[in-house]
Structures are given as C-alpha cells and as structure tokens.
Amino acid sequence: MRLFLVRHAIAHERSQRNWPDDARRPLTPAGARRFRKATSGLAHLLPRDAALLTSPFVRARETALILAKAAQLAKPIECAALAAGKPVEPVFALLRARKEAAVIVVGHEPDLSSLLSAALAANGARIDIEFKKGGAACIRFGGRVAPGAATLEWLLPPRVLRALR
C-alpha cells in the first residue's frame, strides 16, 4: 500500500469566541487559495483510484474537498480515527481494513508526524518531522501495514508542491 499524508491547509487561529468547538474551525480564505495552488502539483503525484480519508474536523474536510476536486478523486470519507489528538494505533487498523493499493489521509499535526514516525520506525522510536500546513508525504508499505514497516518515498512542503505544476 502507498499511503499519502496531507496536512490540512492554513486555518483560522484558535478562538473560543468564534469557534468554541475547535473541530468547527475552518480554513482561512488565503489558506484555501494557497492549498488550491499546491494541489496543482500534488494532483500529479496522486493515483486517481486512491481512497481519500479525512479527519471529521472542518479544516481537514475542507482541505480534502479541495484536493478531491483538483485531483479528480472520489468524495472524501470522514474517519473518526483521524480526528485531532487521536492515537496512531486505530489509524493503522483503519488502513489495514482498506483494500485499495493507495490511500490518502488528510489530518492534523502532531498526529501526522506521529503516524509517519511510527510507520517508519518500529519499537516506539520517534523521528522529528516538520510537516507544514498544506504539505504532503508519501510512504510505501511493502507488505503488512504496521509500525516500522514503511519506506519514505517523499515529504514535500507546500511551496514545493506549488512549484511542481
């Protein structure tokens, strides 16, 4: 399985007044615009038959919808296991249950870095990863989807994705 990880685009700052429930915090107009530009490059790297899974948080769903449109992917599937602050073990279980050869996950930090680190390094080792908003990574599991079983293919910040066009 090839797994593509995409961090949600730039969202509004946390605000108890505007979004007492942080799960409802949306992308900024500039964040959405910049991510649309990044998807012009990212779309060339993604297989069209990949499953698109997203956190149920508004900012991740909005990012996934922009990506789905730009890359001509199927509608995003919301997955509770991808909500911010969740552990990585249920994400591995979610991925093992998928039958597709490629899966795209849209989520949050530090969760995506934790997932990427766990996929690359077994036994709880932690890799320090800088995962920019709107950035993406690709890993490949040669066999079973499990901690320590993946190989990093690429990790790209949004500025590089925007330049790929």
Question: What pLDDT score was predicted for residue 64?
Answer: 98
Which domains, ranges and CATH numbers included, belong to the chain? 2-164 (3.40.50.1240)
Residue that the structure tokens 């996934």 belong to: 64
**Is the Cβ–Cβ distance between 21 and 146 less than 8 Å?**
no
What is the average pLDDT across 133-143? 96
- What does the DSSP 8-state code read for residue 107? E
Question: What pLDDT score was predicted for residue 69?
Answer: 97
Question: What pLDDT score was predicted for residue 79?
Answer: 98
Question: What pLDDT score was predicted for residue 131?
Answer: 92
Q: 72-129 pLDDT, tens per residue?
A: 999 999 999 999 999 999 999 999 999 999 999 999 999 999 999 999 997 767 888 9
pLDDT at 143 > cutoff 90: no
- The pair phi, psi for residue 104, each rounded to 5°, is -110, 130
Dihedral Cα 142, 145, 147, 153, nearest 10 deg: 50
Q: 21-58 pLDDT, tens per residue?
A: 999 999 999 999 999 999 999 999 999 999 999 999 99
| CA 70 from centroid of its chain's CA atoms | 15
DSSP 115-148: HHHHHHS-TT--------TT-EEEEEESSS--TT
Task: Tell me how crowded residue 142 is: count the other CB atoms within 10 A of its CB.
Answer: 8
